[in-house]
A and B are shown apart, each in its own frame.
Chain A
């Protein structure tokens, strides 16, 4: 549902009894987020400090890029399972060139590799109408294998931080104590939001997610849309991968293998976007990811092992999906 539609419905229902379901749908996730923050601050004293906040945001920023791409894909009625491996592959591609002394070429290579893999996904899904889950699952395997293949599973190390200072700054630098990568993520958030809300592309994307058949009948170019959407999704992985390389100053073939994929899809779901597409926005995704990361941070501060955090994140994703769905019906 577009925000305009629900505004109208809110006004209509204001005359009678308030439509709580609609309020819940629109603001529920913000309420949950704020209540969560209050609860954590009460029970975990060391949580409430500027330093800790900035730390969480700093770690989160790298995942944020990926969730923007996933939001576009899911809103258009698809799903991209190749994210984890693509991050690893693009990280390796960047690191390979950075190690040779060309940091900016490396950045371009990382972004290019991501976009190319996304393009392949999009072309297959758009032209042959193959199921996106299968296609991207195959890409998950291909990209994961390639990331390991180039170096026989070894990391690319030995990058001198003095020689690539400005490249390193992208991921680790600070502007007035705010990590630069957080600012970068925020700018991209604005861009994605603009793309979705105020361009024809965005309108077509929502239409495609709402009803693929009628969107096509009304003249939307299915093939072109799928190719663009999945290329952007791959590009977002390229950003995350190359910035992770800039942060670690090494290429890790398994950097995306952990919870990247779950967080990428999980953030979209926890934020309350419709998993089948057509409803939602990128702001919700950001809130969703914040919920996951602040919760993880709180568990960290309480000294709970990272293994247990996987359980909690898994449960939270299922739980939020349940809450979201009940109120969408």
Chain B
């Protein structure tokens, strides 16, 4: 028995097993956790968190970190709704996403070409994006879309294709594309290589600076997409939309098994981490744990998961 337990590759299967165990426990506590409706809603949340986490994963893989994701999300939420006022639902959404990509571009240029450490650049951007968006809105939520725009927008965030929520469909497609991008293209391999050894990557002829700029654009753009789906569902531009999501983004990536020291991890890990966090959060809600205690518990789980990964890598 003990021998079979030891034979399991915990690195690979530990977290999925914990995930299944968690779902069983929460179902026992409150059977409505496992209801179809709750599962679909939670998967919708998970799909959104997955997009943000996979953006963070790119930054972490290249041995960086993106602390500005939360603020960029708030900015995009506001920018999307106000562009929809001008351009209509479809074009307006794209313009909103471009605002997010612009923040990523600025991050990337500052980090790659001016040599400012990622943690400081993105910490600065956290406040620049937040401040800019609050100045523009004065802290007020943007509403009052026309009926046509609202219907079009809401479908993207809150609609269903058959039994599957629209954001989940988008996330799966984007996730597959990102998986291919990381594992199947030169760009993806370069990201891993830079994260493992930036100097060596430069010497073998990788255009390190260009790759890093792209990484931060991707990170911001994926966070923006996550924000867009939330905004679409609310059909409101909410200036504090992204506040709680930064820790979940980094936590989800690390929980899944992406290393903060660069070069190790990937999209599968991002998906796994995002799902564990979202289902844990939902399970705690269903078990009637107060929202503030939930924050503390999730923070603790993230630290514990990191500890486990450190201990694992030592043995």
User: Interface residues, chain A, CB within 8 Å of chain B?
Assistant: 79, 124, 128-131, 133-135, 137-146, 148-149, 152-153, 259, 261-262, 265-266, 269, 275-276, 305, 307-315, 317-318, 321-322, 325-326
Which A residues lie within 8 Å of B139 (CB)? 307
Inter-subunit contact B126/A314 (CB<8 Å)? yes
The smallest C-beta distance from B131 to any residue of chain A, in angstroms, reads 3
A310 touches B134 (CB 8 A): yes
- List the B side residues contacting A326 at CB < 8 Å: 115
Question: Complex Cα distance A135/B302, Å?
Answer: 9
User: Does B121 count as interface, using CB distance less than 8 angstroms?
Assistant: yes
Contact residues in B for A79 (Cβ distance below 8 Å): 119
Q: Is the interface of B mostly helix, strand, loop or mixed?
A: helix
Pick 28 A–B contacts, CB within 8 A, sort by A.
A130-B306, A131-B260, A135-B306, A137-B247, A137-B250, A138-B251, A138-B300, A139-B299, A141-B247, A142-B303, A145-B295, A145-B298, A146-B296, A149-B295, A149-B296, A262-B127, A275-B117, A307-B131, A308-B135, A310-B131, A312-B131, A314-B127, A314-B131, A318-B116, A321-B117, A321-B120, A322-B115, A325-B116
- Which residues of chain A have C-beta atoms less than 8 A from B5's C-beta? none
Q: Are B124 and A317 in contact (CB-based, < 8 A)?
A: yes
Asked if A317 and B120 make an inter-chain contact with CB atoms under 8 angstroms apart, the answer reads: yes
- A130 and B135 CA atoms in complex are apart in Å by 38
- Chain B residues in 8 Å Cβ range of A134: 250, 254, 260, 302-303, 306
Chain A interface: which of B78-86, B187-195, B267-275, B286-294?
Answer: B286-294
| Contact assessment for B124 and A315 in the assembled complex, using a CB-CB cutoff below 8 Å | yes
Cβ B117 vs Cβ A308 within 8 A: no
**For A140, A141, A312, which residue has the most chain B Cβ atoms within 10 angstroms?**
A141
- CA A128 to CA B315, docked complex, whole Å: 12
Instruction: Collect the chain B residues with CB atoms within 8 Å of residue A265's CB.
Output: 120, 123
Interface of A is mostly: helix
Q: Report the minimal beta-carbon distance from A123 to chain B, rounded to whole angstroms.
A: 11
In which size bucket is the chain B interface?
35 or more
Query: How far apart are A135's CB and chain B's nearest CB, in angstroms?
Result: 6
B237-251 vs A, Cβ < 8 Å mask (1 yes, 0 no): 000000000010011
* Residues of B close to A325: CB separation below 8 A: 115-116
Cβ contacts under 8 Å, B121 to chain A: 318, 321
Any A CB within 8 A of the CB of B161: no
The answer on a CB contact under 8 Å between B310 and A321 is no
Min CB distance B238 to A, Å, is: 16
The answer to whether B125 and A138 touch across the interface, beta carbons within 8 angstroms, is no
Residues of B with C-beta under 8 A to A317: 120, 123-124, 127
* Residues on the B chain within 8 Å of A262, using CB: 123-124, 126-127
Minimum C-beta distance from B293 to chain A (A): 5
**Does any Cβ of A come within 8 Å of B176's Cβ?**
no
Q: Residues of A contacting B18 with CB < 8 Å?
A: none
